[in-house]
Amino acid sequence: MDRREFLKKAVGTGIAAGCTMASGAFSNLLAQTQTPPSAYDLVAVKGGEPEAMFDKAIASMGGMEKFIPKGGKILVKPNIGWDVPPERAGNTNPKLVARIIEHCLKAGAKEVSVFDHTCDNWSRSYKNSGIETAVTNAGGRIVSGDSEGYYQTVSVPKGKRLTEAKVHELLLDADAYINVPILKHHSSTMLTIGMKNLMGVVWDRWYWHRNDLHQCIADFASYKKPALTVVDAYKVMKQNGPRGVSLGDVAPLKTQILSTDFVAADAAAAMIFGTRPSDIRHIQLAAEMNLGQMDLKKLSINRIKM
């Protein structure tokens, strides 16, 4: 897509325009004309329910067994930051979180834990997001992130502005972790997707806001990469993020993106949203730090329409 075509597609206001842009981006940017390879760098699936889309996507990537060690302790990190119900799209869809846990356990995980350092009251956010019940019913373990005692100071050797951070012990102890952000608008960073979702594993987020937020996001992305990033774009908050105001902020895009490269996952999600990845500064910075691939043309992508 050249610049003129991109700008033409990006013009529009409101959620209806956002839906149109997302549909066009899915068709034009993630389409493949060559014979699909045996192993994909990224899978994008559209048109189904969260559980069914994940089933299709993870099967296309070779199954969960490829990404987690048998007998391992696995962390699933969704966005549970806000005390809002699932239809408001402020948090990761609970049905998707549950299905990921089920796949991990079926693949032989010893235990699967879930937590987030929430912005709203943690107990209400866990409950009203629907994620606490979903995790419990799927056989996972829900853990609080609200006490500083859970966090340990680690160094971030590749960090430029963020050289150390207090990180939750679940991430430190995990044999592998799966990052499960929801795609949505954000007032400070334009979008919040995978790399920004990792702000929920650290204690002092305000340091990031005071010291070049985008650079801190990119810096921390170098600390411990996820085995898999699963972007929830089933319902997408197109405005007034990250908490949202009403159902009027939400567009039903029914899309999901999976990749082992979280820079690529964020780049693809930005395009689905209707934004050029290079306009999201932390995506550009992470690519420049060689943390992942922002140019989707260089990836093997499987596009699935249900």
CA angle 80, 84, 87 (to 5 degrees): 100
- DSSP string spanning 180-201? EPEEEEETTTEEE-HHHHGGGG
Enumerate domains of the chain plus CATH numbers: 3-305 (3.40.50.11440)
209-240 pLDDT tens trace = 999 999 999 999 999 999 999 999 999 999 99
More confident position, 35 or 79? 79
Whether the Cβ atoms of residue 241 and residue 251 lie closer than 8 Å to each other: no
Whether the Cβ atoms of residue 16 and residue 274 lie closer than 8 Å to each other: no
Task: Return the residue matching tokens 């302790």.
Answer: 73
80-91 pLDDT tens trace = 999 999 999 999
Give residues with Cβ within 8 angstroms of 137, minimum separation 6: 98
Whether the Cβ atoms of residue 204 and residue 238 lie closer than 8 Å to each other: no
Give the CA distances from residue 89 to residues 15, 177, 185, 239, in Å, rounded to whole numbers and listed in that order.
14, 23, 10, 11
Burial-class residue 191 by CB neighbours within 10 Å (0-12, 13-18, 19+). Answer: buried
Residue 25's pLDDT band (boundaries 50, 70, 90)?
low
- Is the model's pLDDT at 24 over the cut of 90? no
More confident position, 20 or 182? 182
Query: Residue 203's CB: how many other CB atoms inside 10 A?
Result: 19
Record the pTM: 0.90
DSSP state of 91: S
84-117 pLDDT tens trace = 999 999 999 999 999 999 999 999 999 999 999 9
Whether the Cβ atoms of residue 40 and residue 139 lie closer than 8 Å to each other: no
Integer-rounded Cα Rg, in Å, for the chain is 18
Q: In angstroms, rounded to a whole number, what is the distance separating the alpha carbons of residues 125 and 79?
A: 10
Nearest Cα neighbor of 273 from 219, 221, 230, 237 is 237
**The tokens of 155 are what?**
């160094």
**The tokens of 105 are what?**
């356990």
